[in-house]
Amino acid sequence: MSTDLLDKPAGLASPFVRALVRLMRAEDSYGTWEGRTDADLLTDFIVTKEQRREIPIIGDPDPDVLWRLEKFYAAVGIDIERVTGRIASPMMKMSHEGFGRVLLTCGRLVVLTRTLRDVHRFGFETIEKLGEAGDKLVADAAGWIETHPDLADA
């Protein structure tokens, strides 16, 4: 067995994490991340408890954090399409202070709505937790689409 397979975190097997990595690689138009592993690409999404403690309670999000937040929810939309065959479009409104809302719509159906706060602290403890969070959002949204297919197709 290849040592590459042994070195990969288990979270990389998550369908959501694979969608997020594909999205990030697709948007790398200059090949900046070509030499980086998938796990290395996701390191910015990982915020350990110790790192979170060092981040002030109140703070404005920097552009990198907002970019990661947008990529996270865009990947949720991409994975919803993989699961349901229907396009789910994210819309995000964020104040400069890090408070806002994200919606994902499919046709006339809102399949995901989240109030966002303290986004300057956005991140997950591990790649596995990142995958679990994304997979749960996708499963919940797919459930709404299955329950209301007429609205999702409208």
List alpha helices for the chain, DSSP H: 3-7, 15-26, 38-41, 49-54, 63-84, 127-147, 149-153
When the pLDDT of each residue in the chain is averaged and rounded to a whole number, the result is 90
Indicate the number of domains in the chain.
Answer: 1
Is residue 39 assigned to a domain?
yes
10 domain residue, yes or no: no
Distances from the Cα of 150 to the Cα of 76, 137, 154, angstroms? 21, 21, 6
> How many Å apart are CA 153 and CA 147, to the nearest integer?
12
Mean pLDDT of the region 35-48: 92
Q: Whole-angstrom Cα distance, residue 128 to residue 108?
A: 32
Domain of residue 111, residue span = 15-153
What would the two tokens of residue 4 be?
């590459």
Burial class (CB in 10 A: 0-12, 13-18, 19+), 23: middle
pTM score > 0.75 for this model?
yes
What is the model's pLDDT at position 1? 34
- Tell me if 148 is assigned to some domain: yes
Strand partners, 139: none
In a domain, 1, yes or no: no
Q: SS3 of 16, please?
A: helix
pLDDT given at position 3 = 36
What is the CATH classification number for the domain harbouring 81? 1.10.3100.20
Rounded distance between C-alpha atoms, residue 89 and residue 107, angstroms: 9
Q: Residues 103-131: pLDDT tens digits?
A: 999 999 999 999 999 898 899 999 999 99
- Is the pLDDT at 2 greater than 60? The verdict is no
Is 60 exceeded by the pLDDT of residue 75? yes
Distance CA 137, CA 77 (A): 10
